[in-house]
Amino acid sequence: MDKGNDQWQEPLTPEDVTVKAFIDYGEHRIQNAEGEVVVSMAKVYMKPRTIIVDKFATRAANTISYKDKVIFDGITHAIMRISKSRDFTVRSMDVYVA
């Protein structure tokens, strides 16, 4: 998890956070945060988290940002799109990765 910047705008040391998630392998054609159509190689379903899109000084453990990286199968993946899903009473966070 990217921890933001200190008072001199130097990046703080990132912190690894482990969360339980379900990984849906497969190609998904999506629109990323910049509005470009890209191909995601996997979709990660996880417990809902607060999405941070602007600059931040500090973060809580239950947040997610486009600067964060998702690690599974020993490979680091960049986050391409974050969305929230709701199916009746089941809520999840959908994270598309490169």
Give the DSSP per-residue string, 3-25.
Answer: --B-TTSPBPPP------EEEEE
Q: Is 80 exceeded by the pLDDT of residue 11?
A: no
Q: How far is CA 68 from CA 7, 90, 97, in A?
A: 21, 24, 11
Q: Is 90 exceeded by the pLDDT of residue 62?
A: no
Please tell me the pTM assigned to this model: 0.73
Amino acid identity at 82: I
Grade residue 41 by pLDDT with cuts at 50, 70 and 90.
very high
The half-sphere exposure of 6 on its side-chain side, counting CA atoms within 13 A, is: 6
Picking from 77, 44, 87, 81, the residue whose alpha carbon sits closest to that of residue 66 is: 81
Average pLDDT over residues 1-20: 67
